[in-house]
Amino acid sequence: MTHAVRRLVTGLDEQGRSAVLFDDSKSGDGPQLLWHSPVNPADNAGREDAGAIAFSGEMFRSPGSMFMLFELPPAGPDDAPFIHTTNTIDYIVVLKGRIELSLEAGSVELDPGDCVIQRGTVHSWRALDGKPAVSVGVLLPAHPVGAGATI
């Protein structure tokens, strides 16, 4: 099952008026990029769809921001967690399902509405209860902590 979200992007139309430039749906397995601003501060000029590009690990090394939808499939008993770090500060909100956030010093269970500020530490995410889970996050570049990024 894939969670879809409606995505609206505003900007200036051909007459220089504020308008909706993109009104579409995003869904799929794994991380779904909703928007990527490759620079900071963001450049709000132009009419190109910065959410239409493919997600890649290189985006974690850009000086800009990412707005992403994360769908976690149910984890099987033999599935190894994807343990990783990024040189980012991530503002995450759980939308649907239950998620386990694992850290080096333990784990915590998250429910819809819970918010996480992930500050570049070693971590992994896992859907609980045998059901998919969905979260949304804004990722911004940050100075490394500890050993730094693995992706």
Q: What is the CATH number of the domain that holds 119?
A: 2.60.120.10
Q: Is position 38 within any domain? A: yes
Mean pLDDT within 133-139: 95
Q: Is position 146 within any domain? A: no
Q: Is position 91 within any domain? A: yes
pTM attached to this predicted model: 0.87
Q: Is position 130 within any domain? A: yes
> And the tokens for 2?
């894939």
Percent of residues, the chain, with pLDDT higher than 90 = 66
Contact 28/2 with Cβ under 8 angstroms? yes
Q: Return the pLDDT at 76.
A: 84
For all residues of the chain together, what is the average pLDDT? 91
Output the CA angle 28-134-34, nearest 5 degrees: 55
In 3D space, the residue among 4, 115, 7, 135 whose CA is nearest the CA of residue 71 turns out to be 135
Q: Is position 114 within any domain? A: yes
Instruction: Kindly report, residue by residue over 36-90, the tens digit of the pLDDT.
Output: 999 989 999 988 998 888 888 888 888 899 999 999 998 888 888 899 999 999 9
The domain tally of the chain equals 1
Q: Is position 95 within any domain? A: yes
Q: Is position 147 within any domain? A: no
Task: Give the residue, 90 or 31, on which the prediction is more confident.
Answer: 90
Q: Is position 40 within any domain? A: yes
Question: 43 is in which domain, residue-wise?
Answer: 5-141
> And the tokens for 137?
């996050």
